């Protein structure tokens, strides 16, 4: 192993191969659920250095764990506890290589922080619409590796839909250059889509060509109080009808989830939180290509129709950007408030939108019946059918004991219910190492066989992120 570490130092420089000191930032996952031990943390600065590192590790038979901003929620980007795996950090590959205004694309390296890309696109007069709570620290390479979703999927799609091409280092240390930015290229298997969402198990993404969009002329945000999830689904249908492609965000938040924000962050003014007759809040965003007056008129027409239909009991429209950001900040603070409340069991699930109310009603009742005192933190991207259906320990109980004794059982109850309603146990957080067994249970044998064949074909040594996504 010493010979490999010396070789890695030769490739990337002595100061960028870390073996001692506090390596918590690379070895511990974001939720602090797991901590591994790396043989070395290696920080290359170019695609060629990544390729050379992979070749050296392949020759030594040493596993590699690629990592971006280390903000994932499924423990998919930290080393195991063996001390034999190389942690490959892509954070130094952070250049914006080119902007093609006519093609509406930007070519960027994998270590670019998402917020930096958003700002660079805006400075160039464009919009890069991917937006999620960790955007200040997550990287585009990690977003692509996990096919991240976020708050604007209802309009723009997941990260997969925002990418036109990739540059990837293969498990053999070869470089596939596919960043042409073509919107039409029907020349065989789509290698780009194969790599996106593979969580670093098939190749290491080093650069990408991403889509840009014109900046909206106006953007309006509203918060609506709704009497039930059924009414929220009705409101979503009305929003599609009235706003069309202008509907860029549609978030639903349960009363208990919002109550945690009000409890732990009292400076935030959560709309309608004192109205006990309002079990859910909905956050809507309307982006308009014409003008603010046009956007506001369409928004007001939507809300008027929603009031008449009885699916909205109260609503507030942000008067300016600052107020809009305050409303979004409340929504994005739910996970932080939940963490303040204590340890919890997270579920990132997707259900056909039409079946979400029935799923929630049935699963809420099931969990309450099976495990007394559980508290349900239900919120998420209703516009695309993605819920963060989380379970908080009973109030005043031993939270560590609750996780130890109940997590596996609760996961089984929730994921079986998800399957019953035709959904997926992982909507946007990926599989990582936490959900490998769940994948084995809920994917068909045919699908698992195809996935294993792809993994074995591309990575016969099983050196890229072994034990993640698929067990071979």
Per-residue pLDDT, 448 = 97
Specify whether 222 is located in the same domain as 266. Answer: yes
The domain boundary residue, chosen from 89, 123, 146: 89
Average pLDDT estimate for 404-414: 95
Confidence tier at 1 by pLDDT (50, 70, 90): low
The CATH number covering residue 399 comes to: 3.30.70.2740
Q: List b or e across 25-60, with b for residues whose CB sees 16 or more CB atoms inside 10 angstroms.
A: ebbbbbbeebebebbbbbbbbebebbbbbbbbbbeb
**Cα–chain-centroid distance for residue 176?**
25
Mean pLDDT for the stretch of residues 431-444: 95
Is 470 inside a domain boundary?
no
Residues 112 and 204 in one domain: yes
Contact between 49 and 110 (Cβ < 8 Å):
no
Tens-place pLDDT, residues 61-108: 999 999 999 999 899 999 999 999 999 999 999 999 999 999 999 999
457 in a domain, yes or no?
no
* Other C-beta atoms lying within 10 Å of the C-beta of residue 427: 24
Q: Does residue 38 sit in the same domain as residue 104?
A: no
436 domain residue, yes or no: no
Q: Using a pLDDT cut of 70, give the percent of the chain over it.
A: 100
- How far from 28 is each of 36, 260, 318, 351, CA to CA, in Å? 6, 26, 39, 31
Task: Supply the pLDDT for residue 331.
Answer: 95
Which residue bears the tokens 């939940």? 338
Q: Is residue 438 assigned to a domain?
A: no
CA distance 331 to 326: 9
The percentage of residues in the chain with a pLDDT greater than 90, rounded to a whole number, is 89
Average pLDDT (332-337) is 93
pLDDT digit string (tens) for 274-296?
A: 888 889 999 999 998 778 888 88
Same-domain pairing of 64 and 169: no
CA angle 182, 160, 350 (to 5 degrees): 155
Residue 241 makes CB contacts below 8 A (sequence gap 6+) with none
pTM metric for this prediction: 0.93
pLDDT of residue 181: 93
Domain-located, residue 46? yes
pLDDT in tens, 341-381: 988 899 999 999 999 999 999 999 999 999 999 999 999 99
CA distances 455 to 377, 452, 471, Å, are 36, 5, 10
Q: What is the mean pLDDT of residues 208-226?
A: 95
At residue 296, the pLDDT reads 87
Kindly tell me if the per-residue pLDDT of 450 is higher than 80.
Answer: yes
Residue 14's domain is classified under what CATH number? 3.30.43.10
Residue-wise pLDDT for 224-265, tens only, equals 999 999 999 999 999 999 999 999 999 999 999 999 999 999
* Tally of domains within the chain: 4
Q: Which strands form 204-211's sheet, in the order they lie side by side?
A: 96-100, 105-109, 204-211, 163-169, 175-178
Q: Are residues 290 and 244 in the same domain?
A: yes
Co-location of 272 and 287 in the same domain: yes
Could you tell me which residues come within 8 angstroms of residue 81 by beta carbon, excluding any fewer than 6 positions away?
A: 35, 36, 37
Domain boundary among 214, 230, 255: 214
Q: Give residue 343's pLDDT.
A: 85
Question: Among 309, 335, 361, where does a domain finish?
Answer: 335
269/359 same-domain check: no
| pLDDT tens per residue across span 291-326 | 888 888 888 999 999 999 999 999 999 988 899 999
Phi, psi torsion values for 217, nearest 5 degrees: -70, -30
Is the pLDDT reported for residue 12 higher than 70? yes
- Which tens digits make up the pLDDT trace of 116-129? 999 999 999 999 99
Q: Do the domain assignments include residue 432? A: no
Query: What range does the domain containing 65 cover?
Result: 2-89
Q: Which residues contact 442 (CB under 8 A, 6 or more apart)?
A: 415, 419, 425
**136: exposed, middle or buried (C-beta count within 10 Å: 0-12, 13-18, 19+)?**
exposed
Q: What's the CA gap between 282 and 315, in Å, rounded?
A: 9
């Amino acid at each position: 192993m010493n010979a490999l570490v010396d070789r890695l130092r030769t490739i990337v420089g002595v100061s960028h191969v870390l073996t001692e000191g506090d390596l918590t930032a690379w070895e511990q996952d974001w939720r602090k659920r797991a901590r591994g031990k790396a043989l070395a943390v290696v920080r290359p600065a170019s695609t060629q250095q990544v390729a050379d590192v992979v070749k050296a590790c392949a020759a030594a038979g040493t596993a590699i764990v690629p990592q971006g901003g280390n903000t994932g929620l499924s423990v998919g980007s930290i080393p195991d506890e063996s001390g034999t795996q190389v942690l490959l950090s892509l954070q130094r590959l952070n250049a914006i290589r080119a902007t093609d205004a006519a093609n509406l694309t930007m070519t960027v390296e994998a270590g670019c922080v998402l917020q930096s890309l958003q700002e660079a696109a805006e400075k160039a007069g464009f919009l890069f619409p991917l937006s999620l709570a960790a955007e200040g620290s997550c990287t585009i390479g990690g977003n692509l590796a996990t096919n991240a979703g976020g708050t604007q999927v209802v309009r723009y799609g997941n990260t997969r839909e925002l990418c036109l091409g990739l540059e990837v280092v293969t498990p053999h240390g070869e470089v596939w250059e596919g960043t042409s930015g073509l919107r039409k290229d029907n020349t065989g298997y789509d290698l780009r889509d194969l790599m996106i969402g593979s969580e670093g198990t098939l190749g290491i993404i080093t650069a990408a060509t991403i889509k840009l969009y014109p900046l909206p002329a106006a953007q309006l945000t509203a918060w609506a109080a709704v009497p039930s999830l059924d009414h929220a689904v009705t409101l979503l249908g009305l929003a599609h009808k009235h706003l069309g492609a202008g509907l860029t965000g549609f978030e639903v938040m349960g009363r208990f989830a919002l109550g945690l924000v009000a409890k732990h962050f009292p400076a935030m003014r959560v709309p309608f939180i004192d109205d006990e007759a309002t079990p859910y809040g909905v956050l809507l965003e309307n982006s308009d290509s014409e003008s603010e007056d046009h956007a506001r008129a369409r928004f007001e027409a939507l809300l008027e129709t929603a009031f008449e239909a009885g699916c909205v009991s109260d609503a507030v429209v942000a008067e300016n950007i600052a107020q809009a950001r305050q409303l979004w900040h409340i929504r994005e603070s739910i996970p932080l408030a939940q963490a303040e409340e204590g340890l919890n069991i997270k579920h990132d699930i997707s259900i056909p939108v039409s079946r979400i109310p029935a799923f929630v009603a049935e699963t809420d009742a099931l969990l309450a019946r099976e495990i007394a005192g559980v508290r349900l933190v239900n919120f998420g991207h209703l516009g695309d059918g993605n819920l963060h259906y989380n379970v908080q320990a009973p109030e005043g109980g031993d939270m560590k004991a609750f996780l130890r004794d109940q997590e596996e059982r609760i996961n089984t109850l929730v994921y079986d219910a998800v399957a019953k309603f035709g959904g997926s146990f992982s909507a946007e957080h990926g599989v990582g190492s936490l959900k490998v067994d769940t994948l084995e249970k809920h994917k068909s044998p045919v699908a698992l066989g195809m996935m294993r064949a792809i993994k074995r074909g591309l990575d016969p040594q099983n050196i890229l992120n072994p034990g993640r996504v698929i067990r071979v």
